[in-house]
Structure 1
Amino acid sequence: MRRCVARFSATAGSISTPYSVKEGERYVTVRRLTHPIRNQSIMLVPVPSFASHTFYDEWCYQPYVKHHTLVVCHDIATPTARTGLRVFLRDGSKIRAFFPGSLPSPATLDMTRKEFFKRFRYLKASVLRLTFLTAQYRDKTCERTVIQGLRSLFDQQYMYHSVSLESPSEGGDMQYKDSFVLLLNASWVPHAVHHLKKEYGFQVDEEVEAPVGPDEELSLLERRCHRANCMLLLYLSAQFVLLIVGLFNYFIEAGRREWALEQEKQKSA
């Protein structure tokens, strides 16, 4: 965390889009938000489903849990992301898919499971939402999910006086009582920044642009995975419709058999 935060520059840019492209390279903006009255600091890391392994190693798979509360969005790793990566990725490419299993474990951090899970949380998304909605539609309708997730983390009615702040460290970094690192879906970040500023009074203190990978390769991979995901959803939807039709026919036939048995009993009587 110290190594990453040291790379921040004290500027605040636009939060309208999760990505920016410069000279064929895709970038995301990592932000740190602070609230001196609440004595809290939040580091927001936009995590795309696909990125270079360098980005994941440098910004995601860090031992944040040792000194901060790590919150991971459950919507980053989609069910079809890793499968699509293996099918469509070219040989020799450095693009990878985000995998929560690559995050540091209690054993690698020399922490007990109790200590680890006190500092590690998931922002869970609905399984039906992950399974039966496309990634593009989830990104467009994620605002409500973002607000609910942030409310569960920061909607506490308490305040710390500013006199409780400790002196800055050697790097000039303020020591906050509550320090969070949020690994969020890249499409969540604009909504998260807006809501944290508007509802809770946080301010964007520092930010840095982090390279994600070649934009052309990432765009092609995302398009192919999106089409494959649509085909999978059509297949699942068709199976679901067939299940409903089959159950409907089963109950109709069962009713007819019961009616036929009653008619036979009446005739025999």
Structure 2
Amino acid sequence: MPISIEIPTQKLPFTALFFFLGTTFLITWGVIGGYIFSPDAMIKAFGAISGSHPLFFLATWAPAIAAFTVVMLYGGSAGLKGFLSRLLLWRCPASWWLFILILIPLVFMAGSLIKGGQLLAPLPPEGMVPVFGLMFMMLLLGPIEEFGWRGLAQPLLQRYMAPIWAGALIGTVWGIWHLPAFFLSGVVFAEWSFLPFFIGNITLAILVTPIFNASHGSLALPVLFHWQLINPFWPDAQPWDTWLLVFVAAVVVWWKRYTMFSREGAVTEVIPQEAQL
């Protein structure tokens, strides 16, 4: 029989959100800012930046690092264990699984077709093996951010505002957090336009919100959702993927309007009250 232990979630105050955000921006903007304002010194010391550079991973992992730090400060190792137990939450209505696994890819395919592209991204000459390797690397990059944005920021904000506004606010901060990367050569952001990306961040943060709440605060589903967005098998559909996702988000908000505009049923705990040992 599993043993239940109480985790002191009340010790994680709303003000922890500001420490989380400060740490997140300090790490990311510090690393990226160094390459923007002192590129020669940074390249000499650490090498040229790229999407696979360890410092790029550090900058990307900043929300997770900040979230783990906050949880450890307020909950200790037991709190961190309880926080990570949210990775095991996977039960939610089947419609959300279909949304992540089928509808998201269809959006990219439709956007690609609109701009005259292919249904799937073209394979490299080496075949599918490098694509699977890249897909695994993508799992260890952007999706790790979800430990911070949905793991910590979302439940703290939902203590005081309806889920839709919490999602929109996180999306706004999420977009601003990415801004320095658009001035950084050697990474994919340098080839993109910021405004569609910024709108896309807000849209995606709103879209993942009902999934997060329907799964009772799961970390696994937001990670999977994020992974699908950067899956190398899906074709380049910019900017049509953004506009299609805005339409999808409008439909989802209308569909879930009773829960999106009410705090009733919204997840507000960062560390579950009980952890199973």
- Pick the structure with more helix per residue: 2
Fold match (TM-score > 0.5): no
TM-score (norm 2): 0.28
TM-score (norm 1): 0.28
- Pick the structure with more strand per residue: 1
